[in-house]
Structure 1
Amino acid sequence: MRRILTEKDVEPAVRGGSVYAAGGGGWADHGRKLGYAAVGAGQPELVSIDELDEEDWVATAAAIGAPASTTPWEMRGTDYIKAVQLLNEALGTPVAGLMVGQNGKSSTLNGWLPASILGCKVVDAVGDIRAHPTGDMGSIGMAGSDEPMIQTAVGGNREQNRYIELVTRGATAKVSPILRTASDMSGGFIASARNPLRAAYVARHAALGGISMALDLGHAILAAEPKGAAAVIDTIVEQTRGAILIEGVITKKDVRYTNEAFDIGTVTVGQGDKALTLHVMNEYMAIDDAGGNRIASFPDVITTLSPDAEPLSVGQLREGMRIHILHVPKSVIPLGAGVLDPAVYPPCERAMGIELAKYALEATHG
């Protein structure tokens, strides 16, 4: 499977990515800017992993931070390119392809511009179909590995002299927090290229076809839009093989930004014994019912939609808003090794004060 990505794919990538953003995953306008710059500058090519040689290097193009917050972030397309250039220099050879750690409003398109400029491929693989709070979750099984990895970060608010270029080497779990700190110091959002791995490893451990899933969903959304919001929501449910858990009003929002560049807290929808609580760490990570029973949990896709069928980020939610909550169980999506790695869950469980690993690591098919 090979296809040249064109301007007709930019909006679908943003739209489909916005559903899989699960309340995070960057900014839609940032994604459009990246996408149109990429297809204007060259011809980024989307390829399946089997189009590469097994020994080819594939790195993850990522954006790190919590841009749903009100921080003074600034990230330019050139930052994504520079991050890959720094990685290539540190690796001693150019990467053949770029995958992304997750889908999202902009993250689905993170690899397009550096691929267009530097001549590598956009690999149809993601670390996680949905967006997630930590780089380890998209690191396709490297979080628990002692193997030294290269991770770079580039970006920052230029006016405030927050621009940073960073090249780190070390075990993924030890290096990832350094990049999160750099993200916070840069203004809350930073471009990254990380974890160069052989294509053979990516083929075994990534969620394959993840970019195509976002593109296909986006094209279906755009096709349904002339029929109205209800038709779009129906299309999203059908295309993702999910379900709407509730249509209700946000009765409480308690989310705070931390200096680790995380938005953490809860959002309550509905009242009394029908109320649902969304647990947030940048993205929606879990849903409990009024009795405290877990009814959806990462890596399930959990997304909030407005009555107009717009996927809403955590930062857009306000008390009194009416929303739909979409739930796509993990059993119907490809799962990357990162979300099946027990090592990725303790930091999130500590930060959120809830259990995640128990639900994430149980059998995916009953």
Structure 2
Amino acid sequence: MQGYAGGKPYTYVEGAVADGLEATSSVVRRASVEADGWVGVARTPVEVGCATKHGAPGAIGFAVELGHRFPSDGPLGTAQHLGGEIVATGTVPDYRCEQRENLDAGVAVLDDAAGTTLHFVSEYMTLELDGERRAVFPDLITTFDGDGAPLASADVAVGEQVHVLVAPAARLLLFSAMYLPEVYGPVEELLGFPFAPGARVPDHA
């Protein structure tokens, strides 16, 4: 079961859908397109015990604290809060993004010495430095523009300065299913290469 809502006033949509994972996710992705690219989603109600065991208790409070810190501390403070670091800064000479199955799929390359390369399917999935894979979702890989404002993968543009932040998954509060290799199959098909993290479930899951 998935409930969704979002969009600007003139593109607002909301609804609920129940079916298999792929079918419900497909409906929500289509709704996101109708909402001009963004909806909030609540997925599969479960009992409290199940959520406590397999979910990410404390994640919302962690996110709220981060939201309070970001305006004053910027990307560097964000990296510190997340237990990560700014691993690359450069200008984007090569950027490709296309809509595939109602998702933004593509790659962004920086002109820094490491030839930083980011592959994404809406979220950043992999980070490569000097041709070596250095981070893989659910590690947090995110970008900021030259002014230090958050920059979504779909909003990157050729010629833009970008800062890349990476925080290891082990430092984040994540739902245990994020580590199941089978959930990555459809995304790997869109990117054209495997990257599933394997069953490395963190201690808190």
Q: Deviations over 1:178-231 (max 9, x none)?
A: 33234335654445443111111111111121111122122223344xxxxxxx
1:169 aligns with 2:10: no
Would you say the 8 A contact 1:251–1:269 is kept in 2?
yes
1:265 alignment counterpart: 106
Give 1:181's match in structure 2, choosing from 27, 30, 42. Answer: 30
Would you say the 8 A contact 1:349–1:356 is kept in 2?
yes
2:43 alignment counterpart: 194
- Cα offset, 1:324, TM superposition: 1.4
Larger RCO of the pair (alpha carbons < 8 Å, separation 6+): 1
If the length of structure 2 is used for normalisation, what is the TM-score?
0.84
**Matched residue of 1:196: which SS?**
coil
Read off the aligned partner of 2:195 and give its amino acid letter.
Answer: L
Compare the two structures and name the one with the higher helix fraction: 1
- Cα offset, 1:239, TM superposition: 1.3
2:120 alignment counterpart: 280
Larger Rg computed on CA atoms? 1
Structure 1 unpaired stretches of 5+: 1-149, 225-231
What does residue range 1-366 of structure 1 map to in structure 2 within 5 Å? 150-153=1-4, 166-185=15-34, 187-190=36-39, 192-224=41-73, 232-258=74-100, 260-270=101-111, 274-291=114-131, 293-357=132-196, 359-362=197-200
- Cα offset, 1:235, TM superposition: 1.6
Read off the aligned partner of 1:206 and give its amino acid letter.
Answer: G
CA gap 1:253/1:208 in 2 versus in 1, 3 angstroms: same
Aligned-CA RMSD value: 2.7
Would you say the 8 A contact 1:298–1:360 is kept in 2?
no
CA gap 1:277/1:360 in 2 versus in 1, 3 angstroms: farther
Would you say the 8 A contact 2:107–2:117 is kept in 1?
yes
Read off the aligned partner of 1:208 and give its amino acid letter.
Answer: P
Identical positions, percent: 28
- Cα offset, 1:267, TM superposition: 0.1
CA gap 1:223/1:241 in 2 versus in 1, 3 angstroms: same
Would you say the 8 A contact 1:296–1:327 is kept in 2?
yes
Would you say the 8 A contact 1:188–1:261 is kept in 2?
no
**Matched residue of 2:148: which SS?**
coil
Read off the aligned partner of 1:350 and give its amino acid letter.
Answer: E
Distance 2:26 2:67 in 1: 33
Would you say the 8 A contact 2:122–2:154 is kept in 1?
no
Read off the aligned partner of 2:121 and give its amino acid letter.
Answer: M
Read off the aligned partner of 1:151 and give its amino acid letter.
Answer: Q
Read off the aligned partner of 2:30 and give its amino acid letter.
Answer: T
Distance 2:7 2:144 in 1: 31
Q: Deviations over 1:94-139 (max 9, x none)?
A: xxxxxxxxxxxxxxxxxxxxxxxxxxxxxxxxxxxxxxxxxxxxxx
